[in-house]
Amino acid sequence: MAAGHYVGRIGALAIALGVSSAITATCGMSVASADATAPEAPGATSASAPASAPGTTPSAGSASRRVGSPRSNPRRDVAVLGHADQASPAPGPAANRDASPHEQSPAPARSEAAPSRGTRVRARTDAAPRPATLPAPAASQTSSPVARASAAPATDPVTAFFSGVAALFNNQTPRLTPAQSSQAADGVISGQLNAVDPDSPYLSYAVTANPTRGSAVINADGTYTYTPNPSMAPAMGAAAMTDTFRVTVSDAPSGFAIHGLAGLVHLLSFGLFGERGDSSTATVTVTVAPFTPPNRVPTGTARITGTDAATGVVTGAVLGSDPDGDPLTYAGSATTGKGAVVVAPAGDFTYTPTDAARQAAAAAGATAAERSDTFTVTIDDGRGGTVALPVTVPIGAVSELSTFCGCTLMPADTVFHADVSTLPVLAKSDTWTDLLGGTLLAAWGGEPWMGVTAGMPVNVVGPDRPTETVIFNRGYSTSGPSIDSAPYAIPDYPLVEGMPGIPAWDRHLLVFQEGTCISQELYNVANGVEMPANSLADALGNAVYANLYGSAWIAEAGVRFDMSSPLYPAIGAANAARLPYLPLILRPDELERGSIDHMLGVTIAKDRGTGFTWPALAGDGTGTNPDGVPMGTVFRLRADFDVSDFDPATQVVLRALQQHGAVVYDSFNAGQDGMRLLAMSNGWTGTGYLTAQRELSTIPVGAFEAVDVLSIAADPSTGWMISSSA
């Protein structure tokens, strides 16, 4: 213990005896804190009420300390400052509360002629903020002669002086005589600590040993509240239960004082001998009669376990939890305005939308409210506790897949039409979205930029269109796995990627043949007669091609996809992932209809991708980053991304990204952020799609997550089929 602490105590003693003015100056600057003398409960927590000297404003935040005393023990459970000299009043609410300190009549044992304890506390203006103390009311008539004297303070200065000296050097130790007063219906016990200390205006209380079967709270007015654990009620049966806890009371907040001879010895020996005597500890025993704990209301959450694209049926379950461990039952509304629901007693539910609701959900411009329905499931604990849980389910659009030129673009049981909204997120999802950065990039149709139009044009020919042989010599070879050399039905003067002005970028040529439902896709095409040139070198090349091949089409790679077959084509490719374009492309009729029933396609920068994964069949071979995004990765817009504030046309695309996702099928120039959305460049009318482009281009890639579509693959070695349970 620091010697400075004891200098302060001796200085205070010297002041009281009028011995030395030099020590008086030293004493006025010394500050020490009080030690608790009672043992502590292991793992106890502490809290204290503010303390202040009489006539001062209390300050909050730190434990009170006595001038010239050892520093207070930091292990106290609860420190509550209250009045001394009187048995505790009736208990207050069962919660620890702050009380504003107020003055009492000055005790006769404290004279203004001597450096009183109150004066000492008030003089500590350089100390840290201390807990406020509550001045004690008049003493009980049964406590002690000094307590009785406090009811009529001495006015004789001489008597007051000697009484103050006596209180300073022979201060009495506070005592507790706890008494239980009442028990509430829920088992909560109230009682009084009945603290008695006739010559100390302020007291603090601390729980130094916690109860084992409940919890105890000490209030600032000296009352206590004991709350039994609810789990004790069934264990008690018809017998009463007892529990104990220990409370220490201290008059240290009242300032410096010597508690008799033992206290003087303790002071002069610097704590080696004697005892401080400023606190005592009592055991509080409570007897709890059999009680019934209050019933607590259950809680619950709902989850959707499956949706049927063909019927629109939604299955799910409500998961309830009861804090009292009561068994729960579930019940729900039988019908809603848009469908019917069956709720099983165990919480499982099945929702079936009406045909009208599904038609409305599929309509162009359908709102979020039209695409969902809500019903209520009631959770009951059987003891009067119930909670009504609203459950919101999606309304699936009509079961028929959309068509393009009378053809369904891939069967319903392929990954292109899969609902990926509930698939698990891949471990590298955050790594990949951070790597890609930027936003979704949406640009298609509209006015040409530098002579070319963004997006992918789709040419349509009839079933009787004559075919022609394409010359594959624009790559490194004239044959190979990327080249399907079968004849292609190509219209006269078709649109090539980048046109109608001049061709640009990868010069894809897509032709869809009605009747056969065959998507013909060529990569890096040229034609010396039917294609304009985009540069002088291109014009010279066209002249050479025209001279050698006339009006024949030349390409680097090509493939033919049967849109009615889920199987991989035997040969050919037109993009890095070897995926078909038509099932992934955003079409004008979809925004007009107000729904998209398939996966969309996106491209990423070459330096952000590495390798490939199903449903892709290959990668672009340029990526070297071990954390790069594999070609074929499917990104889903997070379900918590709010789409309600966007334009209706934009919402159509965003909802599709949440339900069907977007697959990486190709790449663009290195060094660019974001994911570029695949869309047709031709066929757009009006200006509504321009708003969608603008808003889609603000969607951050960070709002997406990569999902595990391989988990739903039926046979990834042969085709794009998904399992029936997906």
At residue 725, the pLDDT reads 59
Contacts of 253 (CB under 8 A, 6+ apart): 51, 64, 66, 81, 121, 131, 133, 202, 203, 204
CB 338 within 8 A of CB 354: yes
Cα 158-160-165 angle, rounded to 5 deg: 100
User: Given the structure tokens 């959707």, which residue do they identify?
Assistant: 304
Separation CA 712–CA 418 (nearest Å): 9
409 closest CA partner among 591, 559, 585: 585
Helix (H) or strand (E) holding 393: strand 386-394
Amino acid identity at 133: T
Separation CA 676–CA 665 (nearest Å): 10
Contacts of 369 (CB under 8 A, 6+ apart): none
Residue 675 phi/psi, 5° resolution?
A: -125, 125
CB 708 within 8 A of CB 426: yes
Separation CA 569–CA 579 (nearest Å): 10
- Token pair recorded at residue 386: 């119930």
CB 381 within 8 A of CB 299: no
CB 250 within 8 A of CB 275: no
By DSSP bridging, strand 509-513 and strand 458-461 are parallel
At residue 70, the pLDDT reads 37
Amino acid identity at 316: G
**What domains are defined for the chain?**
34-288 (no CATH), 299-397 (2.60.40), 407-712 (no CATH)
Residue 196 phi/psi, 5° resolution?
A: -130, 120
At residue 468, the pLDDT reads 96
679 closest CA partner among 592, 620, 600: 600
Beta strands (DSSP E) in 651-703 are 662-668, 675-677
At residue 726, the pLDDT reads 57
Helix (H) or strand (E) holding 404: strand 403-404
300 closest CA partner among 190, 378, 245: 378
In DSSP terms, 586 is beta-bridged to: 679
By DSSP bridging, strand 241-250 and strand 202-209 are antiparallel
At residue 7, the pLDDT reads 41
CA 703 to chain centre: 16
Q: Average pLDDT across each block of 10 residues of the chain; the chain has 726 residues. List them in order.
A: 41 40 32 37 40 35 36 39 44 38 37 37 36 37 33 61 74 91 90 90 91 92 91 76 93 85 82 84 93 86 83 91 90 88 94 87 75 93 92 80 90 95 96 98 75 87 96 83 96 92 90 96 95 90 93 96 97 97 95 88 95 95 84 97 90 93 96 96 88 96 98 96 78
Helix (H) or strand (E) holding 357: helix 355-362
CA-to-CA dists, residue 719 to 325, 379, 413, 519, 567, angstroms: 50, 46, 11, 17, 4
At residue 155, the pLDDT reads 56
At residue 480, the pLDDT reads 86
By DSSP bridging, strand 471-472 and strand 339-343 are unpaired
- Token pair recorded at residue 178: 């706890």
At residue 258, the pLDDT reads 83
In DSSP terms, 562 is beta-bridged to: 518
Separation CA 687–CA 690 (nearest Å): 5
CA-to-CA dists, residue 459 to 304, 614, 656, angstroms: 41, 28, 25
At residue 573, the pLDDT reads 96
CB 230 within 8 A of CB 287: no
By DSSP bridging, strand 554-555 and strand 471-472 are parallel
Contacts of 150 (CB under 8 A, 6+ apart): 85, 105, 107, 108, 109, 138, 139, 198
User: Given the structure tokens 């450096």, which residue do they identify?
Assistant: 115
570 closest CA partner among 631, 562, 513, 488: 562
Q: What is the crossing angle of helices 157-169 and 3-17, to 10°?
A: 150
Helix (H) or strand (E) holding 287: strand 279-288
First to last CA, the chain: 73
CA-to-CA dists, residue 569 to 198, 465, 518, 523, angstroms: 100, 22, 11, 16
| Sign of the CA dihedral running 319, 323, 325, 328 | negative
Q: Within 10 A of 143 (CB to CB), how many other CB atoms are there?
A: 22
Q: What 8-state DSSP symbol labels residue 252?
A: G
